[in-house]
Amino acid sequence: MLTIFRRAELPKELRSLMIFDRKVFGESDRFDAPYWQTLESYWLLEGGVKVGCCAFERNVAQNSLYIATTGIHPGFQGRGFGRLMKAWEVAFARHHGFKRIVTNCRKRNTAMIRLNKNFGFKAIRTEPRYYSDPVDSMVVMELRLAPGSAFSRV
């Protein structure tokens, strides 16, 4: 089966992104339409089916790529798609010459924290009570990209 990453087209796919987001994150953590419109979003498609979605903000700090969201549809979780998407996010950052990747998640989100750590991300900061419904801390994670790797620009 063909597995591809494709950039989401805005505004055409805004509704589709928001429906997917609600399925993955529920009501409390989903993004609103104005925020989605600022993001550079990508679908992970498996045989034409939308299996995952991730979204970036470029240069939130100099040379930093911010991963605003990484989500795998609940029906496809636990099958390696999260690992595939994380590998693609890191490759995307290297390919575009970023020196650092930053991302956030709930402290209770052990799956995401473990996945990030597997790729070398480190927790650099915690913000208590950042999330509501339920209340939770936010963990900020960072991956510093070494220059001169196979994916870096020459």
- Give the torsion through C-alpha atoms of 25, 56, 110, 117, to 10 deg: 170
CB-based contact 49:20 (threshold 8 Å): no
**Judged by CB under 6 A, which of 11, 34, 47, 78 binds ligand COA?**
78
Is the previous residue joined to 128 through a cis bond, with omega within 30 degrees of 0?
no
Distance CA 114, CA 94 (A): 21
Residue 18 Cβ, how far from ligand COA at the closest point, in Å?
15
**Judged by CB under 6 A, which of 112, 139, 141, 145 binds ligand COA?**
112
Contact region for ligand COA (CB under 6 A) — 2-10, 39-47, 63-71, 129-137? 63-71
User: Does 79 participate in binding ligand COA (rule CB under 6 A)?
Assistant: yes
**Judged by CB under 6 A, which of 8, 56, 71, 98 binds ligand COA?**
71
User: Does 114 participate in binding ligand COA (rule CB under 6 A)?
Assistant: yes
Instruction: List residues bridging with 49 in a β-sheet.
Output: 46
Distance CA 35, CA 95 (A): 25
Return residues touching ligand COA (CB under 6 A). Answer: 24-25, 69-72, 77-83, 105, 109-112, 114-115, 118
